[in-house]
Amino acid sequence: MNKAIITVVGQDQVGIIAKVCTYLADNKVNILDISQTIVSGYFNMMMIVDTNGASKEFGVVSGELEALGETIGVVIKAQREDIFDMMHRI
Amino acid sequence: MINFTEVMETNAMIEKENLDVRTITLGISLLDCMDSELSELNRKIYDKITKTAKGLVETGMQIEKEFGIPVVNKRISVTPIALVGGAACKSEGDFVEIAKTLDAAAKAVGVNFIGGYSALVSKGMTAADRFLMESVPQALATTERVCSSVNVGSTKTGINMDAVRLMGEIVKKTAEHTKEQDSLGCAKLVIFCNAPDDNPFMAGAFHGVTEADAVINVGVSGPGVVKKALESARGKDFETLCETIKKTAFKITRVGQLVAKEASKRLGIPFGIVDLSLAPTPAIGDSVAEILQEMGLAYPGAPGTTAALALLNDQVKKGGVMASSYVGGLSGAFIPVSEDQGMIDAVQAGCLTLEKLEAMTCVCSVGLDMIAIPGDVADTTISGIIADEMAIGMINQKTTAVRVIPVIGKGVGDIVEFGGLLGYAPVMPVNSFSCEAFIRRGGRIPAPIHSFKN
C-alpha cells in the first residue's frame, strides 16, 4: 500500500466531493477513508487514499489535483502520508 | 491512523509558519580528482561534480511536490579546495581557476551555491593554504555561486593568529573587490573555529576529509513554527516554555529526517546528517528575533537575551536529537542580522549592538553573522573581532564563526541591500580603539587546558 493524504479546503459549494472522487476514480486511486466538516461555510475535507494502482506518477496526480482545485475554487493538496506519520507518530 | 487535526497542524506549519527544508546539500569528495596539472584537475572536478549531482535539483523538486514541503535550496559542498589544489596550484591565480570551475559546475547542475572553497589552518598554513586564502577576494569577485570558508582555530589546536591576521586583510580586500555590489563578496566568506565537517548551511559548508565519497546532508528550518507554538505558552513558566520548544523542534526535525532519507534513497547516495537550525529569512514570520520577543523581550539585545537564546538553542538541540539518529552540522539557532527582520528592527531601535551579539554567540549555534560594519574599519580591527569570536569557540568547545561585511563607502546608519535570502542590514558601529599591536604579534594561541583529554 502507498498511502497519501488529500486535503480540500475552501468555500462550500455543490459537487466538490463528486469532482475530486471522479478524478480519483478516473486515475485508479483508491479511497480508504473520508472525513469532512463544514465550519462557518468553509469546506474542510481529508481523504486517505492508496496510490498503489494509480495510472499516473504521484507527482502528476498531485499537480493535477491542485489544478482541479483551482478550477473549482478550492485548495487541494495531495501529500504522501509519511510526512504526517513522521511528524506525529514515534 | 493520521487524523484531521494532525494533518491540518502540519500543513499550517508549512503554509502559515514558513516550515521548510532549507537545503539539501550534497557533499562530494574531490580527493580523487587531485592532479599536478591544473587543466586536468579542473576537468576532473567539473566531471565529478556534474556527474554526482546530476539528479540533485530534480530530486529536490520531486520531494517538494510529493510531500508538499518546500525544499528551498539545493546545494553542493566539496572537499576543502586548498587540499585538492595543493599539487596543481602554484599561485593565487591558479586557485581562482578552480573557483571558476566550481562556479561553472554549480551552474551546470542548477544549484544556487557551492561551498568548500576552503582552507583548514587551525594550527598552521601550507603554501597551498596561503595561496587559497590570498585568492579569496579575486575568487569571490569573479564567481557567482562559490562560497568560501577558513577554519582558523579549534579547541584541540588553539588559534592560528597568523591566519586570523591574514583573514582580517582578506575580508577587507574581498569587500573592496566587490564594492560595486555593496561588498557582497564578504557575505560568501566565513571564518570558523571548530568548523564541522558536515554542515549543510552556506556560506560555511564544506565536505570534510573524514566523510564518504558523497553524502546527503539536510538542513531544516522553521523559526516561525517555534514562534507560533510559543504563543500558546504566554505567561507560563520556564518548564512549559522549554517543553513547547522541544516538542516543536522534534516535529520539525522529523520532517528533515524524512526528506534526508528520501533524497538519499532516490539519489543512491548515503544519508549523512540532519541539521536542525532555526535559520531566519527576511520574510515576516521567519525570524529568530521574534521567538526571543515572544519569550518576553522587547527586542533582542535587551538584558535577558543571552539567557533566552541559551535556552532556545539547548531545547532545539534536545528536541532534534530525539527526532533523528544522526543530528549534526550546526543544529541550533542562527542569529544573522541582515537575514532576520526582527534583528534589523532591534539594531535600528538602538537595542542591539555588536558587543551584545558577541555575548549571544557564546550560546547560539554559530557566531557573528551577516553584520554590516563601516567600510573604513581597520584590517586589524576585523582581525580583532575574529580573534575574539575564535576564542569563544575554542574555550567553550563550540563552533563559532565570523561573517562581517565591511561595506566600502558606507558608514554607521546607512542601509545595505544584499538581496534575496541575504536580506538587508543597517551598518553597525564598531569599537574604534586599536588592537593592532596585539594582532601583529604573530604565531599561535595555544590550545586551552581542557583540550588535553587523552
- What ipTM is given for this predicted complex? 0.89
Q: Are A49 and A31 in contact (CB under 8 A)?
A: yes
Residue with cell 459537487: A15
A88 vs B251: CB contact, 8 Å cut-off?
yes
Class of domain B220-447 as given by CATH: alpha beta
pLDDT (tens digit, 9 = 90+) per residue, B54-74? 999 999 999 999 999 999 999
pLDDT (tens digit, 9 = 90+) per residue, B363-399? 998 999 999 999 999 999 999 999 999 999 999 999 9
Beta-bridge mates of residue A9:
A44, A75
In the predicted model, residues of chain A with pLDDT beneath 70 are none
pLDDT for B420:
79
For chain B, residues classed under CATH 3.20.70.20 are 23-193, 220-447
pLDDT for B4:
87
As a whole number, mean pLDDT of residues B22-32 equals 96
Question: Which stretches of B37-112 are assigned E, i.e. beta strand?
Answer: 71-78
B67 vs A48: CB contact, 8 Å cut-off?
no
- When pLDDT is cut at 50, 70 and 90, the band that residue B335 belongs to is very high
The packing angle between helices B354-361 and B379-396, to 10°, is: 30
- When pLDDT is cut at 50, 70 and 90, the band that residue B421 belongs to is confident
Phi, psi of B343 (to 5 degrees): -70, -40
B448 CB neighbour count, 10 Å cutoff: 16
- Tell whether B16 is within 8 A of chain A (Cβ): no
Q: Is the pLDDT of residue B325 over 90?
A: no
pLDDT for B16:
87
Report the run of H or E that residue A85 belongs to, with start and end. Answer: helix A82-88
pLDDT for A27:
95
Of A63, A77, A89, the CB nearest to B11: A77
List the CATH number of the domain containing A62.
3.30.70.260
CA distances A64 to A31, A76, B425, Å, are 17, 10, 42
Range of the domain at A9: 3-88
CA distance A59 to chain B (A): 5
Contacts of A89 in chain B (CB under 8 A): 2
pLDDT for A71:
95
- The count of structural domains within chain A is 1
Contacts of A82 in chain B (CB under 8 A): 67, 258, 262
**Is B23-193 CATH 3.10.20.90?**
no
pLDDT (tens digit, 9 = 90+) per residue, B73-102? 999 999 999 999 999 999 999 999 999 999
Q: Checking DSSP bridges between strand B214-221 and strand B271-278, what pairing results, if any?
A: parallel
pLDDT for B87:
95
d(CA B211, CA B49): 16
- When pLDDT is cut at 50, 70 and 90, the band that residue B223 belongs to is very high
Q: Are A65 and A29 in contact (CB under 8 A)?
A: no
The mean pLDDT of chain B is 95
Contacts of A59 in chain B (CB under 8 A): 62, 65-66
A86 vs B66: CB contact, 8 Å cut-off?
no
pLDDT for A38:
86
Percent of chain B with pLDDT over 70: 100
pLDDT (tens digit, 9 = 90+) per residue, B147-186? 999 999 999 999 999 999 999 999 999 999 999 999 999 9
Q: What is the grid cell recorded at B137?
A: 577576494
B422 CB neighbour count, 10 Å cutoff: 20
A84 vs B258: CB contact, 8 Å cut-off?
no
Residue A90 DSSP code: -
pLDDT for B422:
84
Q: How many A×B Cβ pairs under 8 Å?
A: 60
pLDDT (tens digit, 9 = 90+) per residue, B240-287? 999 999 999 999 999 999 999 999 999 999 999 999 889 998 888 899
pLDDT for B209:
95
Q: Are B287 and B211 in contact (CB under 8 A)?
A: no
Residue of B nearest to A84 (CA): B7
Residues of A with CB under 8 A from a CB of B: 5, 7, 33, 35, 37, 44, 46, 48, 58-59, 62-63, 77-89
pLDDT for A65:
95
Q: Checking DSSP bridges between strand B400-407 and strand B189-193, what pairing results, if any?
A: antiparallel
pLDDT (tens digit, 9 = 90+) per residue, B277-312? 899 988 888 999 999 999 999 999 999 999 999 999
d(CA B188, CA B201): 12
pLDDT for B214:
97
Q: Is the pLDDT of residue B415 over 90?
A: yes
